[in-house]
Structure 1
Amino acid sequence: MALSAQALQREFGDIASAPAELHSIESAVQSYLNTRELNTFRDIKYICFGVSSPYGAESTRLIEHEELFTDLLKTVEHLQPEPRKFRRCYQGLLKSYFNYRGYASELATGGKNWLILRDFLAQHCKALAKQKPVMDWAQALYQHKNLLADAPCKPYAKALLAGDLTVVDELKNRLGIDDDTWVMDELVLAHIHASTALKDAEFMQQISPLLQLLEKHTLLITKGLALLLRRYEACVNRPEHHGLRDTALREWKSPWMEANKPMWHAQIGETATNMVKLWLTKQHIKDFFELLQADRQADTQRMEFWLQYAEAIEDFWLALGNFSFYNQQTDYKRIRKQMEGHCMRLEGSNQNYDNAFLMKIGNFVFIEFGKQNNACHVFSFNNLPFATGQTSVSGTQSGLKNTRHPGWQGKLSHFDGWQQEFAKSLLRYANASPMENHAHQSPFSASKRISLSFSPSQNSKLTAESSHSDNQLKPIDLNKLREFCAIHNLHFDDHRNLGGAVWVRTSDKQPTIADALRNAGFQYQQTKNAWWRV
Structure 2
Amino acid sequence: MGLHSGEFGKPELVEKPTREAERIFQGFAAAKPRKEDAYAAALSFLRGKELDSWQRDLVASAIGEPIREQDGAMVLGARRFPALLGLYESEAKRGDLWRLTWHGLLYSYFNFDPNLANDDATRSGWEALRSFLERTWPLIDKQAGKNQVPDWVNVLRKESEVLSENPVDKYSHSYLRGETGPTDRLAEDLGIPPSSWFWHALVLGVVRRATAESDAEFRRLIPQLVKLIQGKPGFRDEALEVLLIRYHACKGAPHDERLRDYVCQPTVWKNPKLKAAGIATAWNRVPDPVWQMVLSWVNERNLKDFFDILAARNNADEGRLAFWSKYLKQIAWTRLVFGVDTMALKRSNPGIRELIAREEGAYAQLTSKPEVDAFMMQIGSYLIIEFSKKPNACYVYQADQLPFEPYDRHYEGGTADLAAGYRQDVGCALRIVHREGWGDRAEVELRQLGIRPDRPEAQRVATAGAATTSTAGNRTASSGTASGRATAKFAGPDMAALRALVTRFRGASIDDRRSNASGGRLWVEDPLQRTTLGTELKALGFKWANNRQAWYFPEN
TM-score where L is the length of structure 1 = 0.77
Please state whether the residue corresponding to 1:408 is helix, strand or coil: coil
After the TM superposition, which segments of 4 or more aligned residues of structure 1 sit over 6 Å from their partners? 79-83, 504-509, 513-521, 527-532
* Separation in 2, partners of 1:331, 1:493: 48
Please state whether the residue corresponding to 2:386 is helix, strand or coil: strand
**1:432: which partner in 2?**
451
Instruction: Say whether the 8 Å CA contact 2:77–2:122 is kept in structure 1.
Output: yes
Please state whether the residue corresponding to 2:132 is helix, strand or coil: helix
Given candidates 263, 282, 293, the residue that maps to 1:275 is 293
Given candidates 381, 384, 389, the residue that maps to 1:363 is 381
* Separation in 2, partners of 1:357, 1:385: 16
- Deviating more after overlay: 190-199 vs 142-151: 142-151
What is the CA deviation profile of residues 162-220 of structure 1, one whole-angstrom value per residue up to 9, with x for unaligned ones?
A: 11112211221111111111111111111111011110111111111111111122333
* Separation in 1, partners of 2:234, 2:187: 20
Given candidates 158, 166, 183, the residue that maps to 2:173 is 158
**Is the alpha carbon distance of 1:417 and 1:172 closer, same or farther for their aligned partners in structure 2, counting shifts above 3 Å?**
same
Given candidates 369, 389, 399, the residue that maps to 2:407 is 389
* Separation in 1, partners of 2:381, 2:119: 48
State, as a whole percentage, how many aligned pairs show the same letter.
Answer: 23
**1:205: which partner in 2?**
220
**2:485: which partner in 1?**
none
* Separation in 2, partners of 1:137, 1:161: 26
Instruction: Say whether the 8 Å CA contact 2:337–2:373 is kept in structure 1.
Output: yes
* Separation in 1, partners of 2:79, 2:182: 34
What is the CA deviation profile of residues 304-324 of structure 1, one whole-angstrom value per residue up to 9, with x for unaligned ones?
A: 221121222233333332211
Does structure 1 residue 313 correspond to structure 2 residue 326? no
* Separation in 1, partners of 2:528, 2:326: 28
Aligned partner of 1:336: which letter?
I
- Deviating more after overlay: 101-110 vs 85-94: 101-110
What is the CA deviation profile of residues 342-377 of structure 1, one whole-angstrom value per residue up to 9, with x for unaligned ones?
A: 5333344xx222222222223323222212444322
Instruction: Say whether the 8 Å CA contact 1:294–1:371 is kept in structure 2.
Output: no
**Is the alpha carbon distance of 1:360 and 1:81 closer, same or farther for their aligned partners in structure 2, counting shifts above 3 Å?**
closer
Instruction: Tell me the CA shift for residue 145 of structure 1.
Output: 1.6
**1:87: which partner in 2?**
99
**2:372: which partner in 1?**
354
* Separation in 1, partners of 2:240, 2:281: 13
Instruction: Tell me the CA shift for residue 151 of structure 1.
Output: 1.8
Instruction: Say whether the 8 Å CA contact 1:289–1:302 is kept in structure 2.
Output: yes
* Separation in 2, partners of 1:246, 1:123: 44
Does structure 1 residue 23 correspond to structure 2 residue 40? no
Instruction: Say whether the 8 Å CA contact 2:109–2:129 is kept in structure 1.
Output: yes
Aligned partner of 1:380: which letter?
Q
Instruction: Say whether the 8 Å CA contact 2:171–2:183 is kept in structure 1.
Output: no
Instruction: Say whether the 8 Å CA contact 1:454–1:520 is kept in structure 2.
Output: no
Does structure 1 residue 455 correspond to structure 2 residue 490? no
**Is the alpha carbon distance of 1:340 and 1:144 closer, same or farther for their aligned partners in structure 2, counting shifts above 3 Å?**
same
Instruction: Say whether the 8 Å CA contact 1:103–1:111 is kept in structure 2.
Output: no
* Separation in 1, partners of 2:133, 2:196: 17
* Separation in 1, partners of 2:135, 2:367: 72
* Separation in 2, partners of 1:336, 1:171: 44
Instruction: Say whether the 8 Å CA contact 2:474–2:493 is kept in structure 1.
Output: no
Does structure 1 residue 254 correspond to structure 2 residue 254? no
TM-score where L is the length of structure 2 = 0.75
Instruction: Say whether the 8 Å CA contact 1:76–1:86 is kept in structure 2.
Output: no
* Separation in 2, partners of 1:102, 1:360: 40
* Separation in 1, partners of 2:525, 2:252: 34
Q: How does 1:91-110 map to 2 (within 5 A)?
A: 91-100=103-112, 106-107=118-119, 109-110=121-122
**Is the alpha carbon distance of 1:208 and 1:88 closer, same or farther for their aligned partners in structure 2, counting shifts above 3 Å?**
same
Aligned partner of 1:181: which letter?
S
Instruction: Say whether the 8 Å CA contact 1:129–1:135 is kept in structure 2.
Output: no
Instruction: Say whether the 8 Å CA contact 1:346–1:395 is kept in structure 2.
Output: yes
**1:464: which partner in 2?**
none
Aligned partner of 1:259: which letter?
A
Where in structure 2 are there 5+ consecutive unaligned residues?
A: 2-16, 460-468, 478-488, 541-556
Does structure 1 residue 378 correspond to structure 2 residue 378? no
Please state whether the residue corresponding to 1:299 is helix, strand or coil: coil
Given candidates 48, 60, 73, the residue that maps to 1:48 is 60
**1:240: which partner in 2?**
255
Instruction: Tell me the CA shift for residue 4 of structure 1.
Output: 2.9
**1:471: which partner in 2?**
none
**1:36: which partner in 2?**
50
Does structure 1 residue 184 correspond to structure 2 residue 199? yes
* Separation in 1, partners of 2:364, 2:115: 44
Please state whether the residue corresponding to 1:57 is helix, strand or coil: helix
Does structure 1 residue 403 correspond to structure 2 residue 388? no
**2:432: which partner in 1?**
412
* Separation in 2, partners of 1:435, 1:517: 32
- Deviating more after overlay: 373-382 vs 247-256: 373-382
Instruction: Say whether the 8 Å CA contact 2:316–2:390 is kept in structure 1.
Output: no
Please state whether the residue corresponding to 1:224 is helix, strand or coil: helix
* Separation in 2, partners of 1:508, 1:207: 41
Instruction: Say whether the 8 Å CA contact 2:314–2:389 is kept in structure 1.
Output: no
- Deviating more after overlay: 205-214 vs 295-304: 295-304
Where in structure 1 are there 5+ consecutive unaligned residues?
A: 442-447, 457-473, 483-491
* Separation in 1, partners of 2:44, 2:502: 72
Instruction: Tell me the CA shift for residue 221 of structure 1.
Output: 2.3
Does structure 1 residue 292 correspond to structure 2 residue 304? no
Instruction: Say whether the 8 Å CA contact 2:302–2:334 is kept in structure 1.
Output: no
